[in-house]
């Protein structure tokens, strides 16, 4: 089974392309990395059973621009809904990058080949498609087996964490 592409990142792709194109009007290099990591955590112990979002979840973007031997990065969680919001965001990034000064190291401008590439992983079964009842039943079975090992076992726990990582990278 093919791991699905993040719907969140797919809807943001056109905006990222517009943002990078806008930044390329002021910088010789601009890129944007978008990340969407979602998942679940199942916890079963002798006394507690819980299901929660995975601690590994993250969602956001990092833009990188190159200006006179220096890189500037700007991180944010949301892209604006309106077209004018891209201009406002680009202006913030430009102002921050142009304010760089000092005697720090100067780095060479990145050279990239134009590549359009996509990768989607393959799995036997997506963890998100396994019902919570099935996962909890399996973890409960594991904790019961731990108790059967010895009467000295007072508390036993079993935990499953899973996450699905999706990324998009746009540069120009």
What pLDDT score does 102 carry? 66
> Are residues 162 and 135 in contact, defined by beta-carbon separation less than 8 angstroms?
no
Angular region, 69: left φ>0, alpha ψ -120 to 50, beta rest: left
164: how many CB neighbours lie within 10 A of its CB? 20
pTM of the model: 0.81
Yes or no: domain 7-171 corresponds to CATH 3.40.50.970: no
Q: How far apart are the first and last CA of the chain?
A: 33
Instruction: Give me the tens of pLDDT residue by residue for the chain, a chain 172 residues long.
Output: 888 889 999 999 999 999 999 999 999 999 999 999 999 999 999 999 999 998 888 999 999 999 878 889 999 998 887 878 888 999 999 998 888 766 667 777 777 777 777 778 888 888 888 999 999 999 999 999 999 999 899 999 999 999 999 999 999 7
Q: What is d(CA 139, CA 133) in angstroms, rounded to the nearest whole number?
A: 10
Q: What single-letter DSSP state applies at residue 78?
A: -
Say what the pLDDT of residue 27 is.
Answer: 92
Burial class (CB in 10 A: 0-12, 13-18, 19+), 31: buried
**Residue 103 pLDDT:** 67
């Amino acid at each position: 089974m093919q791991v699905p592409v993040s719907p969140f990142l797919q809807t943001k792709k056109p905006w990222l392309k517009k943002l990078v194109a806008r930044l390329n009007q002021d910088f010789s290099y601009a890129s944007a990395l978008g990340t969407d990591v979602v998942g679940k955590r199942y916890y079963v112990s002798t006394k507690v059973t819980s299901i929660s979002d995975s601690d590994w979840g993250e969602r956001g973007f990092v833009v990188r621009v190159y200006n006179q031997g220096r890189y500037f990065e700007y991180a944010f969680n949301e892209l604006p809904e309106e077209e004018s919001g891209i201009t406002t965001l680009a202006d913030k990034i430009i102002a921050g990058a142009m304010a760089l000064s000092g005697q720090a190291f100067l780095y060479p401008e990145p050279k990239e080949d134009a590549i359009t590439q996509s990768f989607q992983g393959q799995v036997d079964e997506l963890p998100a498609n396994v019902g919570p009842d099935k996962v909890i039943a399996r973890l409960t079975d594991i904790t019961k087996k731990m108790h059967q090992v010895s009467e000295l076992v007072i508390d036993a726990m079993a935990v499953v964490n899973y996450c699905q990582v999706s990324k998009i990278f746009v540069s120009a």
